[in-house]
A and B are shown apart, each in its own frame.
Chain A
Amino acid sequence: MKKIQIRQLIEKIEGEAELDFVFNKGKIEDVKINFGFYRGIEEILKGKDARDALVITPRVCGICNHAHLLTAVRAIEDGYRKAGVPVELSSKASDIREFTLACELIQNHVKWLYFTILPQLELYVNQKSEENYAIKATYLSSVITKALAIFAGQWPHSSYAVPGGVTCDPTHLDVMQATSLLDESITFFEQVMTGISLDRYLAIDSVSNLDQIEGDFGRLLYLLGSNDMAEIGQSHDRFIVFGDSPLSKAGKSIVTNFAKVDVRYVKESIQKGTVAKAVTYKERLYEVGPLARGMVAKTPIVKSLHKRYKDSVLTRIFARVHEVAQLLDYSKTLLQNLQLDELSCSLVKGIQVDTFEGTGVVEAARGSLIHTTTVKEGLISNYEIITPTQWNLSHGTKEESGIAIEAMIDTSSIDEATFIFRAFDVCSVCTTQ
């Protein structure tokens, strides 16, 4: 028995994590993922006014705060509806929300690509370039969050969504400025990230056409391919999406089976040795995030990659970057069709429900984000947040290892395992809240 355990601090993710790697005969046999500190957002919310969640919950996470805001507002709206108060969003309000959420997702994916994946891959395969990836990351993320801020006032930590709609009242001037910033982002995608036009990129539907992709994404694919990394990092090959979004309908996908899902079967449980809670759906583990959305939506290029490489690091990374293109394209349509003459907030002032329970679901950058709020006499009596990373980074069940852990098992070095880990776009602050 030659078992060795090595503890490694992983930085340059969102926050930090400590991984305990168990090696057996030169291969990783098990990994324990440990996250730092429980900040108690759910506890902080108890006793507060129901709408205070719109200000407090974005502070769960500096990089996906907007997704928390939109999940929180959907939870309240769901509760209002269940209590018999109709909440109908105007198409304007719902399109603006979709647009700002898309901007935040793009920001997330691009930061992950340039701050994490490209530099870490170059380090791992020892092919370091002289590129300043950080300036690319901050350029695109600040351009796209500027477009977000036109409607939401600021990023990070906007609270512009309220039950019934949004607080902003944009003009054509605002929409034109946002369109121009979006066009700038598309230009960046075309000229820096991929080297081809967005339309041509979006037409790519099979592995055999991947050689059309150049730019930084092309380099990423080349480095993965030329270093035999296309097939590493496979996990349980089970995917779940809880929120309907332009990227995917809700549902789950195992092999070729698609099935509907219901949030009521999600179970959260405490894990030993970490402050992060694990989640399962009907007692089983599922991967969430861009790869899950691509699989459930049967996005042709994601399915094509999956057919050849399964749920490997290549498929997972590709699915995330691919969403940038889908979201840019979708955002363009949203802005073009925005109906400015509609009401921004359709809930009449003063209408408030005092006792309700509601659940909100949003597809955030890393996967399904779920908030459930229980309100009694105007005050929050219970608040539950389930974040995407809780799905992907849980320790697992008695029967099987967690999603990210399974992906790391059987690799032979910490560097390799760590790269696989980072491909999930790890966020420690969301995981521990």
Chain B
Amino acid sequence: MSSSPKPKLLWLQSITCNGNTHSFLNHPDLFSILSHFEMIHHPVLEGSATMQDVLAGAVDCDVLILEGSFKEEGFLKAGVEVSSLIHTYANKAKYIITAGTCATFGGIFKQNDPENISGLCFDIEEKTSRYVRYAPKLISLPGCPMHPKWMSYVLLMLSHGKKIEIDNLHRPVELYGYTVHTGCTRNEYFEWKIDTENYGFKEGCLFYEQGCQGPYTRGSCNKILWNDTSSKTRVGTPCFGCTEPAFPRISLHKTKTNMGIPAKMPMGVPRRAYLTLTGVVKSFKIKRFSERLMEYDK
């Protein structure tokens, strides 16, 4: 067994709702994951340093988890610019994990001050001035909030000294290589272009009218289930694209269409291919898909 000291973990909050903090606290093996690290400070869990120590810029940090949108000037904690704190610890850290869409791309809170609020290294999809400095150690975990198991994947890979493959926005490919559509229980209805009758049914796809963004949103929500249990689309809620750089878009409960066809195509699918396929499947009427999945009292 190696006796080398555990990496020091610092969880820092910027402009946030604390949603990523609470999402991670739901992890079923939280404490075994954290046992690979020395917790320096966390908004809720016990750490070796106080917030005052953190504010003084005085503590060590190997892995920095940043939660919340970034603002260079005007967001203070106890008189200290949070941006300067982030820079202090981002420089010290060997790895920076941006937890959630706010820290990664700017997220919801960006919309109140789009000029000045962004993610740490990305402003929606554009690289910020900070990108060059932090890119070599940056791992993005977008999601509003991020899934607890996406975070544990990164932490465990780091603590085991493994290399995490990432894409151009620094998202781990093993987590974001999928779309939210992958594993959705409504996939058959998607294939056969069958809309759901209304909210509140197991049957039917939410892509055609209800605004579901699953087919073009990166994330493994339907593979690694939420709370080990379910997902938005499994309970009939459309995917709102919360892992995507431009989250939140407008009119989230409506599918934008052109001549009855969704304006935005499933990821990577050419419009012509989609239309061809639609033409074919719409020419058949499959009885099973117009029936309830299960009937009671028969």
* Chain A residues with a Cβ under 8 A of chain B: 7, 9, 11-12, 14-16, 18, 36-37, 39-41, 43-44, 48-49, 51-52, 54-56, 59-63, 65, 93, 111, 115, 119, 132, 134-135, 137-138, 141-142, 145-146, 148-160, 162, 164-169, 171, 177, 341, 343-345, 348-349, 429
Contact of A55 among B25, B199, B234, B240 (CB under 8 A): B240
Query: Which residues of chain A are within 8 angstroms of B44 by Cβ–Cβ distance?
Result: 12, 111, 115, 134
Query: Which residues of chain B are within 8 angstroms of A49 by Cβ–Cβ distance?
Result: 250-254
B50 within 8 A of A: yes
A169 contacts B201, C-beta separation under 8 Å: yes
Contact A151:B199 (CB < 8 A) given known A37-B75, A39-B112: no
Q: B238 to chain A: closest CB distance in Å?
A: 8
| Known A150-B230, A168-B200; 17 more pairs at CB < 8 Å | A11-B50, A12-B43, A16-B77, A18-B78, A49-B252, A51-B253, A52-B251, A60-B17, A62-B16, A111-B44, A134-B46, A142-B26, A146-B26, A156-B145, A160-B236, A160-B237, A344-B201
Q: How far is the CA of A372 from the CA of B276 in the complex (A)?
A: 46
B236 contacts A149, C-beta separation under 8 Å: no
Q: A154 to chain B: closest CB distance in Å?
A: 3
B252 contacts A157, C-beta separation under 8 Å: no
Query: Which residues of chain A are within 8 angstroms of B115 by Cβ–Cβ distance?
Result: none
Binds A, one of B1-9, B27-35, B154-162, B282-290: B27-35
Task: Count residues of B near A (Cβ-Cβ below 8 Å).
Answer: 65
Query: Which residues of chain A are within 8 angstroms of B50 by Cβ–Cβ distance?
Result: 11
Query: Which residues of chain A are within 8 angstroms of B294 by Cβ–Cβ distance?
Result: 171
B202 within 8 A of A: yes
Q: How far is the CA of A349 from the CA of B211 in the complex (A)?
A: 13
Query: Which residues of chain B are within 8 angstroms of A60 by Cβ–Cβ distance?
Result: 17
Query: Which residues of chain A are within 8 angstroms of B27 by Cβ–Cβ distance?
Result: 138, 142
Complex: chain A residue closest to B247, CB-CB: A55
Q: A132 to chain B: closest CB distance in Å?
A: 8
Q: A129 to chain B: closest CB distance in Å?
A: 13
Q: How far is the CA of A75 from the CA of B4 in the complex (A)?
A: 56
Query: Which residues of chain A are within 8 angstroms of B26 by Cβ–Cβ distance?
Result: 138, 141-142, 145-146, 155
Complex: chain B residue closest to A342, CB-CB: B200
B267 within 8 A of A: no
B229 within 8 A of A: yes
B57 within 8 A of A: no
Query: Which residues of chain A are within 8 angstroms of B235 by Cβ–Cβ distance?
Result: 151-153, 160, 167-169
Q: Which of B226-247 contact A (CB under 8 A)?
A: 226-237, 240, 242
A149 contacts B78, C-beta separation under 8 Å: no
